[in-house]
Chains A and B, each alone.
Chain A
Amino acid sequence: GAGVSQSPSNKVTEKGKDVELRCDPISGHTALYWYRQSLGQGLEFLIYFQGNSAPDKSGLPSDRFSAERTGGSVSTLTIQRTQQEDSAVYLCASSLLGGAGSEQFFGPGTRLTVL
């Protein structure tokens, strides 16, 4: 079956512009995660959704970052007034039920470059 998909695969933007990154999780997966992967930094947790609710937003680095999920499916991560330090690969993952021991299935990521 189809895995997690993300779009766009690459995004180049100018400093100060807003960007939207999209994630389509595996159908039926209730949990959805966003991570940021920077060179030498590993995966940094950003936000977690259970259904359409985000019980854990603790990883969002600033109020320029926001995310939503609609219909228990598609999620959008929005970065406002982008900065050069926002350049990274943004990964989305989904899991069937969520929880500490759940298997996460990752998308291929969106590579964001802020000039």
Chain B
Amino acid sequence: QKEVEQDPGPLSVPEGAIVSLNCTYSNSAFQYFMWYRQYSRKGPELLMYTYSSGNKEDGRFTAQVDKSSKYISLFIRDSQPSDSATYLCAMSTSNTGNQFYFGTGTSLTVIP
């Protein structure tokens, strides 16, 4: 079993839709949860960062962490064509040194 599972998609939505992206994980020790956005032929860039459980909102983006279910989500409201990218979840814990565990990424296309 992989440490982090993420549905690769692809996911295609119309402009303005609410997008929900999800990851599940197996290591209950994970404390830090991140979402990265990766455009084609580019490196990933950090989008959202959450420590432990709870919600975090930044503009159109909301990250949720449910540690009891080992489940994290990223919601994108009022999706735009510029949101079309691959979204990777990542997580880590100080117990694993400096290893970050990434999901496989979900490919999202927002259709104008």
Contacts and interface: CB of A to CB of B under 8 A. Distances in A.
Q: How large is the interface on B (under 10, 10 to 19, 20 to 34, 35 or more residues)?
A: 20 to 34
A43 B102 contact: yes
Interface string A81-97: 00000000001010000
B103 A104 contact: no
Q: How large is the interface on A (under 10, 10 to 19, 20 to 34, 35 or more residues)?
A: 20 to 34
Contacts of A25: none
25 contacts: A31-B98, A33-B98, A35-B102, A42-B6, A42-B88, A42-B102, A43-B102, A45-B101, A48-B99, A50-B98, A55-B98, A56-B97, A56-B99, A58-B99, A91-B43, A98-B98, A100-B32, A100-B92, A100-B97, A100-B98, A100-B100, A101-B32, A105-B46, A106-B44, A109-B42
| Smallest CB-CB A-B distances: 8 pairs | A106-B43, A42-B104, A43-B102, A100-B94, A100-B92, A101-B32, A48-B98, A42-B102
